[in-house]
């Protein structure tokens, strides 16, 4: 129901009073989390398809119940004798009485009284701790078709009697304090799982017996060579293989669907968790490393006809699975050794069924359990379990397994009670739209919607100039400080609702328009334009005069801002098209364009986009610009649009029907509500200014077009000239670096590369000079050491780098120690020659000489092949420059004292 929440709250107006849909649902966290049940029963899934019907202030309980019963019993031919219905039993704590109205409707429909059952918690539906909610009624199906009835098994956790359809009557709004208020209108939200319906219609005992899963089981069997799926549950599944079949098939569906919707595992820990569980099963249960890719292809083949994004995202899905498998294998390999090391302290690690990488995440929690559990205690109480859950991420399943291997008894009821208490105490308001209050106010006022057709009514002259619309409108409402005002005076900030406008409200990744509303003797400077229900809000400040309801105003756009928005929005489409040409697998996840620049976020599993690839993208966009291609806008039925082979969709976006399409012939075709140029020639120039990573597989590019890009071109020329002067030694790094910050990405990388090369050469030269100086100083100290005992030297270098002392110390004839200090680096190196064995430091090994230092400063030993002859320590404490110098002198004194003992 998330997509319809604004309608339920009254913030938006429904386009239709009734709707039906099929919706992809993922349940891997939050209030609705089925992950722990997957594979253990026949009807829980991490991904399923929800068949929904909706009423937005139209029909309510009676019609919803009648239509549901009619469809199941007459449309699908399901016997009424095998159906049971439930209704809300009331909740005195909330002041809600039993829903006898619903009960009586079912009885009037003809459902026997003994099959109409009351429940409390199971029959009050809410998405989260706050938001729209209401009582519900459910239809349950008895798979075993018992002639004597199965009313006692409804909502009792039995897989043979399952919920088939839930009808929710959305009529309340829950607030953060737990209280309920009535919504502006009453709505209906129903949901029936496709997988459960298929099990009933195909007359199989559970969802996994349907043709939604059996092709996947066949692929697992044929690819892995494992025994065939046997449909066993619980104790009957002695090897756990059937459970593994079900879990892997479920997870393959969830992973493929989620990747096709544009989710990126590094940014979605729930997706990554399920994906890695699937990889673990492929490797360890079925010994078929590439099995997940095979199953993913099958899922795409099965669901592709209904969801075109599978075909559009095919390359991305394959690239994501390959990248995640490589990442998972690397983490497992690294974690295996670390797990064995930690197991010396925590032997229970080796008994847990989770993988090595997951095991390491539990180390701190297991240590906490050892510290907190009294000696001899055999019970893991709810409070301690809650602490392990909230602070160390241990789920209830992991807690139970930990308790089992430690010989403890987990108090599950107390843990769940503590968890419920925390959730109740931590209820916070859901994010509220900045315009929710305005939307509710406008709804109450009953004003007519804003006619904004003029926002698209701009033309292009033969000269290339754009003529933007300017319209006369009447003020319908002035909103100030969350309420309606009779008028707004000079200096006052407000939002103005007009009967018509030419201003474009923020949407589709494009910023809202700016401009001026003028009237005789006054004006309002519009700094932003927003959409609110069917109204356009012109937000700004009255700069002169007084603006009141009914005032006639002239709407004038800021032409520079609007043209900049149009350029950058069109450039966003062209850049995405170029990236799809240059990269084998990429898809847009987000974008933003305004009058100054654009920002495009894409998924790409090929690592960083190189400067050469950026250059090729720029070349393509500039080529399309030079071709002066016409940009056309049209509308067509959504079903027709989805059949277009070149159509580019934003994964997870909900598109209207009909859908508005923006097309550049031979280049791109995208659903879009924004404003665009009418010819690519009007882009004039285009440059990418930066790109960065926003997580594994996600790249964020920024770019400019038009005058801003022409300015960037001039900065590019200055940067390239700076590269030439740097190489020739005619410019310093300090002079060149500011030019890199101003340049477009390609030239910026060239200049920074030249600066790095120059810096590396300078560092190498400086290091050689330091080494030569150190050599001379040590030789002088040896000559001055007339007793022939030892040398301790404090050397302050000019560059922080690894101390080159080892190769110098090897050539020393006396036991020698160096304390090296330079810009945050403080290190000690020493060597004791094989022949220096009499008196003073000669009787020491090199490691013994440095051992005392570890008691005075935080440091770590440097691995060396012969610790008796050579040793090293690196100080790990963070020190100020003064503290660093003082500590260096202290270390010198300690080394001298130890050498003369």
Phi/psi of residue 513, nearest 5 degrees = -70, 160
Tallying the residues shown for the chain, one arrives at 901
CB 628 within 8 A of CB 581: no
User: How does DSSP classify residue 505?
Assistant: P
To the question of whether residue 676 is assigned a binding role by annotation, the answer is yes
3-state SS assignment for residue 490: coil
To the question of whether residue 721 is assigned a binding role by annotation, the answer is no
3-state SS assignment for residue 239: coil
User: How does DSSP classify residue 694?
Assistant: S
Listing DSSP states for 661-688 in one string gives EEEETTTEEEE--S---SBGGGG--EEE
d(C-alpha 445, C-alpha 440), whole Å: 9
Alpha helices, DSSP H, located in 476-556:
none
Contacts of 129 (CB under 8 A, 6+ apart): 174, 176, 423, 427, 428, 430
Exposure b/e, 418-431, CB count within 10 A at least 16 = b: bbeeeeeeeeeeee
Residue among 64, 83, 72 nearest 170 (CA): 64
Q: What is the 3-state secondary structure (H, E, C) of 216-281?
A: HHHHHHHHHCCCCCCCCCHHHCCCCHHHHHHHHHHHHHHHHHHHHCCCCHHHCHHHHHHHHHHHHH
Find residue 161's DSSP bridge partners: 142
Contacts of 358 (CB under 8 A, 6+ apart): none
Burial class of residue 337 in the structure, from the number of CB atoms within 10 Å of its CB (0-12 exposed, 13-18 middle, 19+ buried): exposed
Contacts of 438 (CB under 8 A, 6+ apart): 479, 482, 495, 532, 537
Parallel, antiparallel, or unpaired: how do β-strands 83-88 and 825-831 relate?
A: unpaired
User: How does DSSP classify residue 349?
Assistant: G
d(C-alpha 545, C-alpha 631), whole Å: 41
Phi/psi of residue 239, nearest 5 degrees = -85, -15
Burial class of residue 147 in the structure, from the number of CB atoms within 10 Å of its CB (0-12 exposed, 13-18 middle, 19+ buried): exposed
Listing DSSP states for 107-152 in one string gives HHHT--GGGEEEESGGGEEESSSSEEEEEEEEEEEETT--TT--GG
Residue among 249, 255, 390, 246 nearest 313 (CA): 255
Instruction: Tell me the C-alpha to C-alpha distance, in Å, between residue 805 and each of 252, 784, 810, 834, 872.
Output: 56, 20, 9, 18, 10
To the question of whether residue 143 is assigned a binding role by annotation, the answer is no
User: How does DSSP classify residue 80?
Assistant: G
227: left (phi over 0), alpha (psi -120 to 50) or beta: beta
CB 536 within 8 A of CB 497: yes
d(C-alpha 885, C-alpha 879), whole Å: 9
Tell me: cis bond preceding 658? Omega within 30 of 0 counts.
yes
d(C-alpha 687, C-alpha 703), whole Å: 6
Residue among 541, 415, 528, 535 nearest 477 (CA): 535
d(C-alpha 235, C-alpha 355), whole Å: 23
Burial class of residue 96 in the structure, from the number of CB atoms within 10 Å of its CB (0-12 exposed, 13-18 middle, 19+ buried): middle
CB 67 within 8 A of CB 53: yes
Binding residues: 569, 573, 672, 676
Binding residues for Zn(2+): 569, 573, 672, 676
């Amino acid at each position: 129901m998330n997509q319809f929440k604004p309608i339920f709250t009254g913030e938006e107006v429904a386009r239709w009073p009734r709707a039906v849909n099929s919706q992809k649902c993922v349940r891997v966290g939050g209030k609705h989390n089925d992950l722990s049940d997957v594979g253990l029963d026949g009807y829980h899934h991490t991904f399923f398809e929800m068949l929904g019907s909706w009423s937005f202030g139209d029909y309510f309980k009676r019609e919803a119940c009648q239509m549901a019963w009619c469809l199941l019993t007459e449309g699908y031919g399901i016997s009424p004798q095998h159906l049971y219905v439930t209704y809300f039993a009331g909740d005195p704590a909330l002041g809600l009485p039993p829903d006898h109205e619903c009960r009586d409707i079912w009885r009037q429909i003809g459902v026997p009284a003994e099959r109409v059952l009351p429940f409390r918690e199971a029959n009050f539906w809410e998405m989260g701790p706050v938001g729209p909610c209401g009582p519900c009624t459910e239809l349950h199906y008895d798979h075993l078709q018992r002639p004597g009835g199965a009313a006692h098994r409804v909502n009792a956790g039995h897989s043979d009697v399952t919920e088939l359809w839930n009808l929710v009557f959305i009529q309340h709004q829950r607030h953060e304090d737990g209280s309920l208020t009535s919504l502006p209108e009453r709505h209906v939200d129903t949901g029936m799982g496709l997988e459960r319906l298929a099990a009933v219609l195909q007359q199989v005992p559970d969802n996994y017996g349907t043709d939604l899963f059996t092709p996947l089981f066949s692929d697992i069997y044929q690819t892995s060579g494992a025994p065939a799926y046997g449909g066993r549950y619980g104790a009957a599944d002695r090897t756990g293989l059937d459970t593994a079949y079900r879990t892997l098939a479920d997870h393959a569906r969830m992973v493929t669907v989620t990747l096709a919707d544009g989710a990126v595992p590094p940014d979605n820990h729930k997706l990554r968790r399920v994906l890695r569980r699937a990889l673990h099963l492929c490797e360890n249960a079925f010994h078929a490393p590439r099995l997940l890719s095979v199953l993913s292809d099958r899922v795409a083949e099965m669901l592709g006809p209904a969801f075109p994004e599978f075909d559009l995202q095919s390359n991305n899905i394959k690239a994501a699975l390959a990248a995640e498998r490589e990442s998972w294998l690397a983490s497992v390999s690294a974690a295996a050794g670390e797990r064995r090391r930690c197991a010396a302290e925590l032997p229970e690690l080796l008994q847990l069924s989770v993988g090595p990488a997951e095991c390491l995440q539990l180390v701190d929690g297991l240590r906490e359990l050892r510290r907190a559990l009294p000696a001899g205690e055999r019970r893991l109480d709810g409070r301690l379990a809650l602490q392990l859950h909230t602070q160390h991420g241990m789920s209830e399943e992991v807690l139970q397994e930990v308790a089992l291997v430690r010989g403890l008894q987990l108090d599950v009821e107390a843990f769940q009670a503590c968890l419920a208490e925390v959730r109740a105490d931590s209820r916070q308001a859901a994010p509220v739209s900045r315009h929710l209050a305005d939307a509710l106010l406008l709804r109450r006022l009953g004003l007519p919607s804003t006619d904004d057709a003029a926002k698209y009514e701009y033309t292009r002259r033969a000269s290339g100039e754009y003529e933007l619309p300017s319209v006369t409108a009447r003020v319908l409402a002035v909103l100030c400080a969350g309420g309606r005002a009779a008028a707004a005076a000079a200096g006052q900030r407000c939002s103005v609702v007009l009967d018509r406008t030419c201003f474009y409200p923020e949407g589709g990744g494009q910023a809202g328009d700016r401009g001026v509303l003028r009237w005789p003797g006054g004006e309002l400077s519009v700094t932003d334009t927003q959409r609110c229900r069917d109204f356009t809000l012109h937000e700004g400040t009255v700069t002169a005069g007084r603006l009141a309801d009914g005032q006639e105003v002239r709407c004038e756009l800021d032409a520079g801002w609007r043209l900049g928005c149009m350029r950058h929005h069109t450039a966003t489409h062209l850049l995405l098209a170029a990236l799809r040409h240059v990269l084998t697998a990429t898809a847009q996840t987000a974008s933003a364009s305004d009058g100054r620049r654009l920002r495009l976020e894409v998924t790409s599993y090929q690592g960083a986009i190189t400067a050469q690839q950026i250059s090729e993208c720029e070349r393509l966009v500039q080529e399309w610009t030079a071709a002066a291609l016409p940009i056309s806008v049209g509308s067509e039925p959504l079903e027709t649009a989805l059949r277009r082979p070149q159509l580019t969709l934003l994964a997870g976006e909900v598109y209207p029907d009909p859908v508005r399409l923006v097309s550049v012939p031979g280049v791109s075709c995208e659903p879009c509500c924004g404003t665009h140029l009418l010819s690519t020639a009007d882009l004039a120039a285009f440059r990418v200014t930066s790109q960065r990573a926003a997580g594994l597989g996600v790249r964020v590019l920024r770019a400019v077009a038009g005058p801003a890009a022409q300015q960037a071109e001039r900065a590019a020329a200055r940067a390239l000239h700076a590269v030439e002067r740097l190489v020739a030694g005619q410019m310093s790094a300090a002079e060149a670096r500011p030019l890199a910050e101003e340049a477009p990405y390609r030239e910026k990388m060239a200049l920074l590369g030249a600066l790095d090369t120059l810096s590396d050469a300078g560092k190498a030269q400086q290091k050689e000079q330091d080494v030569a100086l150190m050599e001379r100083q040590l030789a002088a100290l040896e000559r001055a050491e007339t007793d022939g005992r030892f040398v301790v030297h404090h050397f302050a270098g000019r560059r922080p780098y690894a101390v080159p002392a080892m190769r110098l110390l090897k050539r020393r004839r006396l036991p020698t120690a160096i304390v090296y200090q330079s810009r945050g680096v403080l290190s000690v190196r020493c060597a004791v020659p094989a022949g220096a064995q009499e008196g003073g430091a000669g009787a020491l090994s090199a490691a013994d000489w440095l051992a005392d230092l570890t008691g005075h400063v935080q440091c770590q030993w440097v691995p060396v092949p012969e610790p008796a002859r050579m040793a090293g320590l690196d100080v790990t404490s963070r020190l100020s420059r003064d503290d660093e110098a003082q500590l260096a002198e202290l270390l010198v004194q300690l080394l001298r004292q130890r050498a003369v003992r």
